Structure 1
Amino acid sequence: MDSTLAISDIEITVLDYESTGALHGYPDEPWQIGMVSLKGGRVDTGSMFESLLQVDINRPFNPHAPGRHGVLRDKISEAQTPQELWPQVKQR
């Protein structure tokens, strides 16, 4: 029995996130999440999702962490927590 699947038969969801980066004394925390589904080897643009994730305004970011966290700090501090956002993520 051949257990291989053609890419056209597969649907996957790709998850990406940005994080604060590691700093001594602080855990690495996600501050942004993005998701998209691939169906039949193509991006399903209707499935795109992105959101900021709450990080305390006083929590330092690693200066080498990528992303626009510097200009988004106020919005990041007011965003939903991962636990609050989970129902939306789980639906996808």
Structure 2
Amino acid sequence: MPAWMKWQKQFLPERFERFARVMFNKQDADAGIEALKNWYAKIGAPVTLSEGQIPEIDIPMLVDKLFAVAGMWGATQLYTKDMIRTVLQNAL
């Protein structure tokens, strides 16, 4: 989720700034995302794909599957294959 948040904040910066303030008492979106990553690590949740035992070689398959899900939601304009690939690469 942090990799998606870093990508999405460019479109809704005020929403992610509010998230940072309300959830973690941080003043900007990046600090809030970092605090979320730290909280995930604290509770033992994987923060990256590699921490979740998902190898980089699986990214093309994941892109196809996630794009299909985006199609079921009618969200392929926002969730293009390139966007999904970028987020997954950033989540390694």
TM over 0.5: no
- The answer to which structure has the higher strand fraction is 1
- The answer to which structure has the higher helix fraction is 2
